[in-house]
Each structure stands twice: as structure tokens, then as C-alpha cells.
Amino acid sequence: MNNKLAIIGAGGHGKVVGEIAYLNQYKIIDFFDDRVNDIKDFPFTIVDTVENLKIHFKKYDAFFVAIGDNELRSQKLKWLKENELNIVNLIHPKSTVSKFSSLGKGICVMANAVINIGSLVKDGVIINTSASVDHDCFIDDYSHISPNCSLSGEVKIGKLTHLGTGSSVYPGINIGNNVKSGVGSKIFKNILDGTIYKN
């Protein structure tokens, strides 16, 4: 059982992640953020800067990155991997994750989110509040499925892609790497890498 958790990123996203860790009964939940001296009224202990986390590695048996920005999250997760640390998933107890789905490392699944049977979610992905990932979907590394998104069956999402709040994706659609969709987007066609999609 992991008891001592170090989390990188003490912003708004970090607050939500910290509470999920609390609900998962971690005994110690410490944060590391470069703004350690500027952050006020944060509900968890902020110990030190991210750079200085390496001094504290041996104090923790689990690690997580709580940064909403996909690129920054990928950088910090790769750093933890390079140091061969135990990167965990944080899954809200009021989410639903199929036992017949597959999850990588460093994934956050928030309250009321659903990951259905046959889906593969890779490293560092955020499945945000009340997002729905239906059967046989594929979500590649470091992507963010925002609150209230709805992915129909057999949707494929590339790396570092961010679907805006309330985006809906038609069955079998392929969405490339580094795509950004606007809030409430309805996606009925494949989207190429690097596209900003609005409708």
C-alpha cells in the first residue's frame, strides 16, 4: 500500500487531484511547486520547489503530476520516469472504470467519469469530471478529456490533445496529436495533427 504521495503542481487542478488522493486514503499528501512561496490558502502542504523534489525522493513511495497543461505535464512525468519512481494513477471512488479497460501510469480519473470496456488510456491522461469514454476507445499519452466530454465507441485520440469542456465525438472518429477543440464542440469528422477545431 502506498502511504506517502508527492504531487507536482499546486494549482486548481492540483486541489482536485489532492482530494482524490485523500479519498484514496493516502496518509501523507505533499505538494511541490515552483511558486511555493507565493501560493496562499492551499488545502494541502506545499513542501518545496519541483527541482528540489529530487532531494526528497526517498521520503515518498508514490508520485503524481497534477498539471493541467499537457506539455508541462508530459515533461514532469518523463522526469519522474527517468528517475525510475513509482508513478501512480489517482481514480476518484465515484468514477466508473471497467475492469476490462487498460490504464497506463500517471492518469487522473475524476468524479463521475466513466471509462468503458475495451478502452486503452495511456500515460499522463486526464479524464476530467463527468467525462465519458465509451467502449474500445484509445487515448494516447498526455491528453486531456475535459469535464462533460462524451467519446462514443472506438474513438481514437492522439498525444497531447485537449478536448474542450462538453465536446462530443461521433463513433469511430480519429483525432490527431496536439489537437485542441473548443468548448461544446461536436466532432463528426477525423481531425489532423495540430488542428484547432471549433464549430
**Tens digit of each residue's pLDDT (9 = 90 or more) over 157-183:** 999 999 999 999 999 999 999 999 999
Low-confidence ranges of the chain (pLDDT < 70): 1
The reported pLDDT for the residue numbered 1 is 56
Distances (CA, A) of 143 to 67, 113, 137: 12, 15, 13
Beta-ladder partners of 96 = 114
* Per-residue model confidence as pLDDT tens digits over 51-71: 999 999 999 999 999 999 999
Q: Which pLDDT belongs to residue 89? A: 98
H/E stretch holding 174: strand 174-175
CATH 3.40.50.970 fits 4-88, yes or no: no
Distance CA 29, CA 40 (A): 17
Alpha-carbon torsion, ordered 104, 110, 114, 119, to 10 deg = -10
Topology (CATH level 3) of domain 89-199: UDP N-Acetylglucosamine Acyltransferase; domain 1 (2.160.10)
The CATH 3.40.50.20 domain(s) of the chain lie at 4-88
User: Which of the following is catalytic: 13, 56, 92, 135?
Assistant: 135
Q: Assess whether 92 carries a catalytic annotation.
A: no
**pLDDT value of position 199:** 84
d(CA 167, CA 147): 9
Looking at the chain, the domain(s) classified CATH 2.160.10.10 span: 89-199
User: Can you give the pLDDT at residue 152?
Assistant: 98
**Grid coordinates standing for 46?**
506545499
Report the run of H or E that residue 148 belongs to, with start and end: none
Check residue 184 and give its pLDDT.
97
Which pLDDT value is given to residue 96? 98
